[in-house]
Amino acid sequence: MFESLEGILIGYGYAGLFLASFLASTILPFGSEGLLVLLVYKKFNIPALVLVASVGNFLGACTTYYIGLKGRGVVEKYLRFDPEEIEKAEKIFSKYGSFVLLFTWLPFIGDAITVASGILRFKFWFFSVLVFTGKFVRYLILAYSVTVFMT
């Protein structure tokens, strides 16, 4: 069974990684790290993997940001975000500033930070630079860490 699942995942390669990365950065509970590690292990091109994963993850975050632009009421009603989680993210923004967007890849709080940035109407270009940078650095470190452990 594992070999067939592995074959399926490898068969989708970059497209599968893009989709997994996109979904992992939306409000869906999904991860892309395992697939990235598998593809690095299978000798896929590391710079291409990092770029594909980063772009997919960034575009997923853009989707979540856009939902945040619709307002707190929409987010709480349709996405069932806990109001306390959004308030916590807003407090993080007020305490640490907009550079907290570099950490939207963090589990649990990352989605709330992204939604809160939409609710707070952060300038999209600034959001884009910080979010993409954080996600790119994260995937870069992960991919190259795997190569260190493989040698």
Distance CA 92, CA 87 (A): 9
Give 66-73 contacts, CB < 8 A, sequence gap 24+. 66/118, 67/27, 67/115, 67/118, 68/114, 68/115, 68/116, 68/117, 68/118, 68/119, 68/120, 69/118, 69/119, 69/121, 70/118, 71/119, 72/119
pLDDT of residue 93: 87
CB 114 within 8 A of CB 64: yes
Work out the mean pLDDT of the chain and round it to a whole number. Answer: 88
Q: How many domains does the chain have?
A: 1
Q: Who has greater pLDDT, 108 or 135?
A: 135
What is the token pair recorded at 151?
Answer: 């040698």
Q: Does position 133 have pLDDT exceeding 80, yes or no?
A: yes
Mean pLDDT of 63-83: 85
Q: Does position 1 have pLDDT exceeding 60, yes or no?
A: no
pLDDT tier for residue 150 given thresholds of 50, 70 and 90 = confident
pLDDT of residue 75: 84
Residue 18's domain spans which residues?
2-150
